[in-house]
Structure 1
Amino acid sequence: MKLSYKLAAFSALILAGFSCGQKEQAGQQAPPPTAVTTYTLVKKSVTGLDEYPATLVPLNEVEIRPQIGGYITNIYVKDGQEVKKGQKLYEIDRSKYAASRQQAQALVQSAEANLARFEKDYDRYQRLDEQEAIAKQTLDYAQTEVLNAKAQLSSAKAQYESASTDYNYSVLVAPFDGTVGISQVRQGTQVSPGQPVLNTLSSNDPMSLNFVINESEIPRFTKMLKAEETPDSLFRIKFSDGSIYPFNGKFTTIDRAVGRQSGTIDLRVQFPNPDRDLIAGMTVNLMVLNEDIGEQVVIPYRAVTEQMGEYFVYVVQADNTVKQQNVILGTQIGEGIVVRSGVQEGTKIVVNGIQKLREGAQITEQTVAK
């Protein structure tokens, strides 16, 4: 009985060992090669551009507001008209202010006459005092009268200046060359100091373009701002319809500080605007040349995989295995993208089938991408 039990146990052990051996052989068997599409890297002539949403703003812009009260008696410009510095825009009823100025002018003339009279009296009393022909008190009174007359003349002149200022404010003129908007008032409208806004005046040429960058890009743009020479076409404008503005821009300003909450900073580029194609408030795309200029390695974008914020491609090795290679990407151009570092011209990479690959996987080339 014991012998039969031992034989049964030995047989079971042999069968178990045989089964494990079969499993080990099955586990060691290499998977079949993965069929992929490959691409051999070549250099292409490219012009790398980064695009930033941007807004056009005038260099100068001011709200035209009344500084005195009254009724609008004249409007000298049409809506949307271009004006020159000093050109008349609006007139507020001047009759009251003209009368006030005339009255103030009369007060000045009266004060001047009084001062002249008191000065003559003072001179005469001085001569009599030298001869001891008058009391000292009389001379002191004369001197006081002169001082009072001078004070009255200064007061009268100040009133005249104030009245003249109000009179001049009754005609509003353009403080600089530009274009006015749509008038917010009509003839006969009553206005008061500061209210309402009559119109808005904006300068036309040049025009500024404001855009925003992340703080990580600040060193790049700081170098541009400090550079003595930059490419003529470094900054261009693309309109919403895809057309390109014919004039190049000039980089002028980086704001003083990075936004604490946003982590961004404002920049400004100036563009000439001789034909008035650029209008304040327009939203456009600013195109900025980057380092991807000339002959560059370009790969199909579908060949790239991303892991934890880094980018990789599968490079084909001599033994038809693949190696995962980290790459630094540049400008995307159509369906391709510039590779700034990581792979060189002549390198063969996998384009299609990367989802099935892992490091060291065996491949077979099904087709070759062009």
Structure 2
Amino acid sequence: MNKILKYVLIGVVVLGALWAAAFFVKTNSKSAITYETKNPFTANIEKKTVATGKVVPEDEVQIKPQVSGIIDKIYLKEGAKVKAGDLIAKIKVVPNEQSLNQAKGRVRNAEIALNNTKIEFDRNKILFDKGVVSSQDFNSQQLRYDQAKLELQNAQSDYQIIRVGSAGGSATANTNIRALVSGTILEIPVKEGDQVIQSNNFNDGTTIATIADLSIMIFEGKVDEGEVGKLQLGMPLKISLGAINDKEFDAKLRFIAPKGVEESGAVQFKIEGDVTVEEEFLIRAGYSANASLVLEKKDSVMVIPEALLQFDKTTDEPYVEVLIGDQKFERREVKIGISDGVNVEILEGLTKDDKVKIWNKTEPIKKGTEEDEEKN
């Protein structure tokens, strides 16, 4: 009995060792990780692009002086709302001594000429009344007299303009700087005491104020040449402003530049869009903005997350791996459509029942390998 019991115990030990060895081998033969899968699903997908830029008033009017001089008084401040005709500033004319002296001399000459012409006119009038001078000669003398009076008036007006900036009879003095349009004063780049230059054919003149209507704003931005061909005038835009969080403004594309500009090696095209400004929001000129444009849209199409796609290193063709058994996958070539950066449209190669491998895990580093690296 002791021998039989001994043999039985030996047999149990041997069978246990064999079972442990088989279990160890089977366990090590399995994959070190378990991949999850995801089925294709139906969704709406939009291909968008984002254009960076800013919002600016549609029209900005620069107010420039009609005479040169020094800013005597500024009546309004930046940000003030004005109506056409409102007084913004006043200029004090500092006349040029040479021009003033010439104008004064012209007035004196005109006075002398008028006095001489008046003497001749008075003498000819007496003779004409007596019938000594013909009507033709008297009319000629009267014409010279009238011209002399007009010349004196012109000389006096020129002298007055040079001295004070406007003629005495002017309805609106040139020294008064008034708003030409209604809107908001965006900028007053001058101060009291600054010298300003009038606008003429040879000089743009000094800008005294810039006025714009902040209720009519446009978006100015740029898009890449690879996307500009998909844009169409009138397409909707969504404008988001850096200064106003959690709010998008509607806009319509109104302009696409016919010529691109190269920036940092890429060709960019300017675009503009009319922005719908809501009354409860104050949009200041120059706010940085992003415009979202929908280039292509499809509803109820089969998609998968773009992260599930792989691309062949040789052909650069897309493929996925589909579950066919217990952690067994086969490669499946697919044809893709549009992508929104998160999901991608599947045109061919998959059905909704297929389980697509999720490439979100990596092989764990074995303990023995870590110890070998530490020894090295």
TM-score strictly above 0.5 = yes
Query: SS of 1:346's equivalent?
Result: coil
Separation in 1, partners of 2:256, 2:161 = 42
Query: SS of 2:230's equivalent?
Result: helix
Q: Structure 1 pair 329/250, CA: closer, same or farther in 2 (3 Å)?
A: closer
Any idea what the Cα deviations from partners look like across 1:55-101, whole Å, max 9, x if unmatched? 1122122444444333333222123212222221111136979xx9x
- Number of residue-to-residue matches in the alignment: 296
Counterpart of 1:209 (choices 212, 219, 222) is: 219
- Asked if 1:77 is matched to 2:76, the reply is yes
Any idea what the Cα deviations from partners look like across 1:198-238, whole Å, max 9, x if unmatched? 443333121111111122323321xx31x6xx5xxx21122
Partner of 2:337: 328
CA contact (8 A) 1:209 1:269 kept: yes
Q: Structure 1 pair 213/133, CA: closer, same or farther in 2 (3 Å)?
A: same
1:304 Cα deviation after fit: 2.1
Any idea what the Cα deviations from partners look like across 1:290-338, whole Å, max 9, x if unmatched? 3235323332222123468956231539796322324234212xxx323
Q: Structure 1 pair 207/242, CA: closer, same or farther in 2 (3 Å)?
A: closer
Q: Structure 1 pair 95/213, CA: closer, same or farther in 2 (3 Å)?
A: closer
1:158 Cα deviation after fit: 8.7
- Asked if 1:54 is matched to 2:63, the reply is no
Aligned-pair identity in percent equals 16
Larger deviation: 162-171 or 36-45? 162-171
Separation in 2, partners of 1:278, 1:268 = 17
- Asked if 1:337 is matched to 2:340, the reply is no
Separation in 2, partners of 1:132, 1:326 = 114
Query: SS of 1:238's equivalent?
Result: strand
Counterpart of 1:312 (choices 308, 315, 318) is: 318
Q: AA paired with 1:272?
A: T
Query: SS of 2:211's equivalent?
Result: strand
Query: What is the TM-score when the length of structure 1 is the normalising length?
Result: 0.60
Q: Structure 1 pair 276/321, CA: closer, same or farther in 2 (3 Å)?
A: closer
Q: Structure 1 pair 199/142, CA: closer, same or farther in 2 (3 Å)?
A: closer
Partner of 2:276: 272
Partner of 1:175: 180
Separation in 1, partners of 2:293, 2:179 = 35
Query: What is the TM-score when the length of structure 2 is the normalising length?
Result: 0.60
Larger deviation: 141-150 or 242-251? 141-150
Partner of 1:27: none
Separation in 2, partners of 1:43, 1:321 = 23
Q: Structure 1 pair 68/151, CA: closer, same or farther in 2 (3 Å)?
A: closer
1:185 Cα deviation after fit: 4.0
CA contact (8 A) 1:180 1:200 kept: yes
Partner of 2:15: none
Counterpart of 1:251 (choices 247, 250, 253) is: 253
Q: Structure 1 pair 267/64, CA: closer, same or farther in 2 (3 Å)?
A: same
CA contact (8 A) 2:230 2:295 kept: no
Separation in 1, partners of 2:316, 2:182 = 52
Separation in 1, partners of 2:65, 2:207 = 8
Any idea what the Cα deviations from partners look like across 1:179-210, whole Å, max 9, x if unmatched? 224544444x1423167654433331211111
Q: Structure 1 pair 321/174, CA: closer, same or farther in 2 (3 Å)?
A: same
Separation in 1, partners of 2:47, 2:153 = 69
CA contact (8 A) 1:56 1:282 kept: yes
Separation in 2, partners of 1:329, 1:190 = 60
Counterpart of 2:230 (choices 220, 223, 226) is: 220
Structure 1 runs not aligned, ≥5 long = 1-30, 357-370
CA contact (8 A) 2:70 2:195 kept: yes
Larger deviation: 141-150 or 286-295? 141-150
Larger deviation: 202-211 or 253-262? 253-262
CA contact (8 A) 2:323 2:357 kept: no
Paired residues for 1:1-370 under 5 Å: 36-46=35-45, 49-93=48-92, 145=144, 152=151, 159=158, 166-167=165-166, 168-181=173-186, 183-187=188-192, 189-193=193-197, 197-221=207-231, 224-225=232-233, 234-240=236-242, 243-245=245-247, 247-259=249-261, 262-273=266-277, 274-306=279-311, 312-314=318-320, 316=322, 321-332=330-341, 336-339=342-345, 341-342=347-348, 346=352, 348=354, 350-353=356-359
CA contact (8 A) 1:92 1:171 kept: yes
Separation in 2, partners of 1:81, 1:40 = 61
Separation in 1, partners of 2:319, 2:243 = 35
CA contact (8 A) 2:50 2:292 kept: yes
1:43 Cα deviation after fit: 0.7
Any idea what the Cα deviations from partners look like across 1:136-162, whole Å, max 9, x if unmatched? 9x6897599489659948965994997
Query: SS of 1:211's equivalent?
Result: strand
Larger deviation: 159-168 or 64-73? 159-168
Query: C-alpha root-mean-square deviation of aligned residues, in Å?
Result: 5.0
